[in-house]
Amino acid sequence: MKFTIHDSRFTIHDSRFTIHDSPCTIHDSPCTIDHSQFIIMPKTVFISGATSGFGKACAEKFASECYDLILNGRREERLEEIKTKLEKQYNIAVYLLPFDVQQRDRVFDVVKTIPADWQGIDVLINNAGLALGRDYFDEADMDDWDTMIDTNVKGLLYVSRALIPLMIKRSASTGIPGHIINLGSIAGDEVYEKGNVYCASKFAVDAISKSMRIDLLRHGIKVTNIAPGAAETEFGIVRFKGNEPTAKKVYEGLTPLSARDVADIIYYTTTLPPHVCINELVITCTQQANTIYFHRKPN
């Protein structure tokens, strides 16, 4: 574990840790403290859609910064692999909550099963989401529309509604603001041809983030909308339904954002002092100006 402790009253200057009053002994290197009045609890982040892309990169980043992780996604084997790797590599704890964010009752039922010692959630990253198809409005598959709205909008709402009461409790008991990070998109800022319902779902994430920020003001919870541009993850393969060559074409002539780039920025937003909140961040690679203009270079 990496943390620094200054002064004789054991004030901890590090936003990654929470202090709880209770007599105990802390041993850690390079500093060793005996007979202090405090125990140091690592912070916990909940990440939806942690089996690939931004979610998986966030799991790695937060683990490397000593957070304990609660990871969600539908592909359980992948979650198990990530848990095994990160627990071993970073000496942190990982709790798995596999479920489909579209299933309202299941989301609430599963959240009720979170053990008491995992309920102190400091950071929620609402990342699970997808684009399906890239078709003209009049030709689009309405099942794709349903899945995007059910995942990107309704799923985000259900997970947030289920977890926010735990975050309010945590925030009140520690005095440290909880933080909700919603994965919007540059597609939630500007629409583009054949982006129709995906764009609409991300405009909704923007509106939900703004509303959450207002409604959670009284609880001191931070809300950040992260709006990335083109990033190479499994996103394109999912959007084009397994057609890898078409998915690859999107990034032709570009050095797109990587999942790691986005995870590093997400982590940064959580490192600011309690009174500072980044409300929105639009992030693109240098070769992308907005949803339409790219400067592609021949490979």
Ligand X SMILES: NC(=O)c1ccc[n+]([C@@H]2O[C@H](COP(=O)([O-])OP(=O)(O)OC[C@H]3O[C@@H](n4cnc5c(N)ncnc54)[C@H](OP(=O)(O)O)[C@@H]3O)[C@@H](O)[C@H]2O)c1
Binding flag, residue 18, ligand X (CB under 6 A) = no
Nearer to ligand X, 102 or 270 (CB): 102
Q: How far is the CB of 216 from ligand X (least distance, A)?
A: 21
Least Cβ distance, residue 30 to ligand X (angstroms): 36
- Residues 66-85 touching ligand X, rule: CB under 6 A, are 72-75
Peptide bond preceding 30: is omega within 30 degrees of 0, i.e. cis? yes
Nearer to ligand X, 171 or 225 (CB): 225
187 close to 291: Cβ distance less than 8 angstroms: yes
129: contact with ligand X by CB under 6 A: yes
CA-based nearest residue to 96, from 148, 51, 62, 134: 51
Helix, strand, coil proportions of the chain in percent (round to 5)?
40, 20, 40
Compare residues 52 and 270 and give the one whose CB is closer to ligand X.
52
Going by their DSSP bridges, the two strands 17-27 and 32-42 should be labelled as: antiparallel
Alpha helices in the chain (DSSP H): 53-64, 76-90, 104-112, 142-148, 156-174, 196-215, 235-239, 244-249, 259-269
Rounded to 10°, the helix 53-64/76-90 angle is 20
Report the alpha-carbon distance of residue 212 to residue 217 in Å, rounded.
8
The one among 59, 97, 111, 183 contacting ligand X by CB under 6 A: 183
86 near ligand X, judged by CB under 6 A: no
CB of 26 to ligand X, least distance (A): 36
* Closest separation in Å from C-beta 268 to ligand X: 17
Which of 98, 89, 107, 90 lies closest to 150, judged by CA?
A: 107
Least Å distance, CB 271 to ligand X, is: 21
Report, in Å, the least distance between residue 154 CB and ligand X: 10
| Residue environment code for 208-245, b if the CB has 16+ CB neighbours within 10 A, otherwise e | bbeebbeebeeebbbbbbbbbbbbbbebbebbbeeeee
Site for ligand X in 252-271 (CB under 6 A): 259
**Binding ligand X by CB under 6 A: which of 107, 114, 128, 266?**
128
Q: Does 130 bind ligand X (CB under 6 A)?
A: yes
Binding mask 88-127 for ligand X (x = CB under 6 A): ------------xxx------------------------x
Residue 42 or 49 having the CB closest to ligand X: 49
| Residues binding ligand X: number (CB under 6 A) | 32
Nearer to ligand X, 108 or 175 (CB): 108
Catalytic residues: 198
Tokens of 150: 């059910």
Q: How far is CA 129 from the centre of its chain?
A: 11
Q: Which residue has the tokens 């509106």?
A: 207
Q: What are the residues binding ligand X (CB under 6 A)?
A: 48-55, 72-75, 100-102, 127-130, 151-152, 155, 183, 185, 228, 230-231, 233-235, 238, 259
